[in-house]
Amino acid sequence: MKTPARLLCIGECMVELSPAGDDKFRMGFAGDTFNTAWYVKQLLGQNWRIGYASCVGTDAVSERMLAFMREAGIDTDHVRQLRDRTAGLYMIQLENGERSFSYWRGQSAARMLADESDWLDRAFSGADVLFYSGITMAILDDPARERLSAALARARARGALTVFDSNMRTQLWNGPDAMRAGIMQGAAQADVVLPSFDDEQDAFADTTLGAVARRYREAGAKLVVIKNGAGKILVSRHDGEDFSFAPDPVRDVLDSTAAGDSFNAGFLSAYLQGADVREAVARGAEVAAKVVRAPGALVTV
């Protein structure tokens, strides 16, 4: 029997409080790279093994989070448990389908995920694909960010495909200059970059999708797919002409949480199974359209 290929997502899973009506909230577990892992697990076949690399605590909520991951079929072999830490928490507020977040992550164990280079190398050693994000970079201090970047570079050198979503949260960074530097540090280790145009406009003052694509291509990416809300998606490849893809309009948007994360999963699920880039982008848009019609970060697709 063929050994399943392995995709490892790296980052922070948090306790999520999402609106449940009448000023009540529902508890769940989510976080950008974990959301992508959760959706990819639904979408990829049995020939793929999906894992998560992070740190959690040893308290009850961390144990419940680990159980949730395992029940979803996500491998937790590379989730370390730290006694003096816990899981971060965030609360979603919605207005006209658009989300805003409040965070409590001062004792988040995930901030320690890159404290040991040897552990990173062991976690990455069996992975065919490594997926990480701007938030993965943002929650680390400068030395840990260097260790993660070096481990990604070593994995890339041995043949792993590295995929980066530049997902930006300004409040996690020590100012805009630090954010720009950290994002480009993450991009420098990526074969595939999946940015969002609104983030790039705000952070880098890019005025066109083409400018975003050029910056990431110059950083070393072989493929850049720029998400653009309801607008046209731009695809830029090192071995071909750029092209745009216009997703079908999405009506009845209920909650835009995890729109980009689920797009990433839809795109990767097709791309990693041999679809051409246009088909993979269409699959990403299709999955995201389903997700934004339902509440919360994680819905069945």
0.75 cut: is pTM over it?
yes
45 burial (CB, 10 Å; 0-12 / 13-18 / 19+) is exposed
Catalytic site includes residue 199: no
Catalytic residue among 165, 206, 255, 261: 261
pLDDT of residue 1: 42
pLDDT tens digits in sequence order for the chain, 301 residues long: 457 899 999 999 999 888 888 888 889 999 999 999 999 999 998 889 999 999 999 999 999 999 999 999 999 999 999 999 999 998 888 777 566 778 898 899 999 999 999 999 999 999 999 999 999 999 999 999 999 999 999 999 999 999 999 999 999 999 999 999 999 999 999 999 999 999 999 999 999 999 999 999 999 999 999 999 889 999 999 887 899 999 888 888 877 778 899 999 999 999 999 999 999 999 999 999 898 888 767 888 8
